Amino acid sequence: MDDRSSADLISVTELQQKLNDSLQQLSPERLQVLADFAAYLANAESEAATQELLAIPGLLERVKHSSTTPKAHYTTWRTLRSDV
């Protein structure tokens, strides 16, 4: 998640409030259209994030390798970073 300033968070909160206010005025049919569009936008954002991750050289291979690593070979983060 992005580090957001408090001004950005206020802006997001204001946008959410405006959206909630508008939702109260929509018919059930328009709400369904909006729900479908919101799902489309969420899917597009998720797809963009997936493509960004897939563009990292070697990432998929490292994930596959780590998923096949026996748990006995894991090291706890506390051992690696005792100052945390």
The neighbour count for residue 34, using CB atoms within 10 Å, is: 14
Reading the block at residue 27, the tokens are 């018919």
Alpha carbon distance 50, 64 (integer Å): 16
Whether the predicted pLDDT of 67 surpasses 70: yes
The pTM score is: 0.52
Whether the predicted pLDDT of 1 surpasses 50: no
| Segment among 3-7, 49-53, 62-66, 73-77 with least mean pLDDT | 3-7
Whether the predicted pLDDT of 4 surpasses 70: no
What is the three-class DSSP state of 83? coil
Whether the predicted pLDDT of 3 surpasses 60: no
